Amino acid sequence: MLYISNHPLVAHKLSIMRDKSTNTEQFRSLLCDISELMCYEVTRDLSLDKYKIETPMQETTGFAIVDNVSIIPILRAGLGMIDGLVKLIPNARVGHIGLYRDHETHMPIEYYCKLPSEIENGISIVVDPMLATGGSAIDAIDMLKRKGAQKIRFLCLVAAPEGVKRLQDAHPDVDIYACALDECLNENAYILPGLGDAGDRIFGTD
Ligand code: PRP
Ligand code: URA
Mean pLDDT (the chain, rounded): 96
Return the ligand 2 atom nearest residue 200 CA. Answer: 3
> How do beta strands 93-94 and 69-75 pair?
parallel
Residue 194 CB less than 6 A away from ligand 2: yes
- pTM, to two decimals: 0.96
Return the ligand 1 atom nearest residue 131 CA. Answer: 12
How is residue 141 annotated by DSSP? H
Residue 166 CB less than 6 A away from ligand 1: no
Q: How far is the CA of 185 from the centre of ligand 2 (A)?
A: 9
Catalytic residues: 101, 105, 197, 200
Residue nearest to atom 2 of ligand 2 (CA): 197
Residue type, 143: M
Residue 130 has pLDDT above 90, yes or no: yes
Summarised one tens digit per residue, pLDDT across range 135-186 is 999 999 999 999 999 999 999 999 999 999 999 999 999 999 999 999 999 9
Return the ligand 2 atom nearest residue 129 CA. Answer: 3
Beta strands per DSSP E along the chain: 2-4, 48-54, 59-65, 69-75, 93-94, 96-101, 108-114, 123-127, 130-131, 151-155, 158-159, 175-178, 180-181, 184-185, 191-192
Domains annotated on the chain, with CATH: 2-43+69-203 (3.40.50.2020)
